[in-house]
A and B are shown apart, each in its own frame.
Chain A
């Protein structure tokens, strides 16, 4: 069993929809939780970063962490075709980038 599980999708939604992306994990020591976005033929870029449990909002994006359930989510409101990408969750015990454990990624397509 992988430390971080992520539904690979693909997920296809109409423009304007609310998108929910999720990851579960098994290592209770994870303290830092991130979401990366990866466009085709590009490197991952950091989208959201959360420490411990709670919510964080940035524009149309909201990240939620529930450590008791070992479950994290990323919500995208008013989704746009430009949001079409692969979304990777990542987690870390120490906060250092060297210890990032990534999910396998969810491929999202937002249809105009």
Chain B
């Protein structure tokens, strides 16, 4: 168990809908990262938050947004969902957001858009 908790584990929704994925980082970790894992693209970095502030953006679509709350949990919001958004979404956390390469991953949320 990595100590990173993601909910829900599975989510099935229709095209055009909006969903929220939740992540609780390991105790003491200030940085949260969101990754998307799909069969054709592999694991891709979406966005990073550090202590409540956005730190870096990767290949995140404009329909997606995230935030990190004062208690350091994070939410990833996906809207106007398309079939191609079906993927595993992972949250990872690390102690800091600068030099720490060791990121601990949660078990992921499997999103299926039908």
Contacts and interface: CB of A to CB of B under 8 A. Distances in A.
Q: Which of A94, A96, A105 lies at the interface centre, i.e. has the most chain B CB atoms within 10 A of its CB?
A: A96
B86 interface: no
Given A43-B4, A45-B2, A98 B55 contact: yes
Contacts of B107: 41-43
A43 B25 CA distance: 13
Interface in B1-60: 2, 4, 31, 33, 42-45, 48, 55-56, 58
A95 interface: yes
Given A43-B2, A97-B94, A97-B100, A104 B106 contact: no
A96 B101 CA distance: 5
Interface in A22-65: 32, 34, 41-46, 49
Nearest to B55: A98
A43 B97 contact: no
A11 interface: no
B: contact size bracket: 20 to 34
Contacts of B43: 44, 88, 90, 100, 102, 105
Contacts of B106: 43
A97 B103 contact: yes
Given A43-B92, A95-B101, A102-B44, 12 more contacts: A43-B108, A44-B43, A45-B2, A45-B104, A94-B99, A96-B100, A97-B48, A97-B103, A98-B31, A98-B48, A103-B42, A105-B43
Which 4 pairs across A and B sit closest by C-beta, in order of nearness?
Answer: A43-B105, A97-B103, A102-B43, A98-B48
